[in-house]
A = this chain, B = another copy of it.
Amino acid sequence: MAQPITKIAYHTAEAIYVRGASLVDELIGQLTFTEMMYFQLMGARPTPAQTRILDAVLVTLMEHGITPSSIVSRLIYDSCPEGVQAAIAAGLLGVGSTFIGTMEGCAANLEEMLGAPEGEAARAKAIAQRVRAAKQPIPGFGHPHHKPDDPRSPRLLAVAGEAGVPGRHIRALRLLAKEVDAAWGRHLTINATGAVAALLGEIGIPAAVMRGIAVVSRAAGLVGHIREEQVEPSARFIWSTVSEKIPYAGG
C-alpha cells in the first residue's frame, strides 16, 4: 500500500510548522483565527477579500437560538458535565443533510452550471426544471420561517460584492434563482445555505468540505449554549416538558 504523506504540519523539539510557516514566529499573534483556518485548509494565505467572505459565512452560521443542535448539547452537558467536548460533539452530529448539508447540493448545482458548454443560463433552466419535475426540494432555496426572503442571503451576497470577489458563483446563484422561481411558478427565497454555497465557492473552498465550515461555526455557537446551561440550567426542564408532551399510547 502506497505510503501517504502530509502537507499540513510537523514539529521538532523547538518549533511547530504549519504549511511551512513557523507557528510561533509567523502565525501566533499575526493571523486571525479566520486567516489561520483558511491557511491551514487551503495551503495559501487568504487575501483580505477571502478573509472577509469567510468571516461573514462563519458569523452567519454560528447561532440560530434554540435549535436541535443546541437542545442536544444542553441535554448531553447535563448528563455529562465533565465532558464539554462531548456535549459539543453531540450537537455537531446534527449538522447533517437535513439543514446544513443542502449547502453541498447547491454548490454542486453551481459547479454544474459553471462548467456547462451550453452556457450557465441554459443549464440553470435545465436544473430547475429537472428538480421541479422530480418533485424534489431544490437545495439552497426556500425556508420554513424566513418569508418571503431569508434576510441573511442578500446581506451575504452584498458582503461578497463589497469584497470584490470575481463573482462567478454568485452570478450563477442569481441565474439559478431566476429559473427556480420560473419553474416553481412562485418566489422561493435564496436561503442562507444557498448564499453560503456561492460565497464559499467564490473563495475556493471545495464543496466536499463546505459542511466542515458550518461545523466550526456551530461549534462556537454551542460553547455559548453550554455556558448558558451552566448558569441557567434548562436540560431538566426540557426533559420533563418533552416527556409530558409525548404521551404513551401503546398497548
A residues near B, CB below 8 A? 1-11, 13-20, 23-25, 27-29, 31-34, 36-37, 40-41, 43, 52, 54-56, 58-60, 62-69, 71-72, 75-76, 78-90, 92-100, 145-147, 151-152, 155-156, 158-159, 162, 206, 208-209, 211-213, 215-217, 219-228, 230, 232-243, 245-251
Contacts and interface: CB of A to CB of B under 8 A. Distances in A.
Contact of A242 (B78, B147, B238, B248): B238
- Most B CB atoms within 10 A — which of A40, A80, A225? A80
A82 to B, nearest CB: 6
Contact of A98 (B80, B96, B206, B209): B80
A206 B43 CA distance: 33
Contact of A55 (B33, B225, B241): B33
Contact of A216 (B52, B99, B220): B220
Q: Among A3, A76, A152, A236, find the residue whose CB has the most chain B CB atoms closer than 10 A.
A: A76
Contacts of A222: 212
Contacts of A221: 40
Given A97-B80, A223-B215, A208 B230 contact: yes
B246 A6 contact: yes
Given A16-B152, A89-B93, A247-B5, A11 B234 contact: no
B9 A239 contact: no
B8 A235 contact: no
A121 to B, nearest CB: 29
Contacts of A145: 11, 13
Contact of A40 (B212, B216, B220): B220
Contacts of A40: 62-63, 220-221, 224
Contact of A228 (B8, B89, B96): B8
A16 to B, nearest CB: 7
Contacts of A86: 83, 85-86, 89, 93, 96
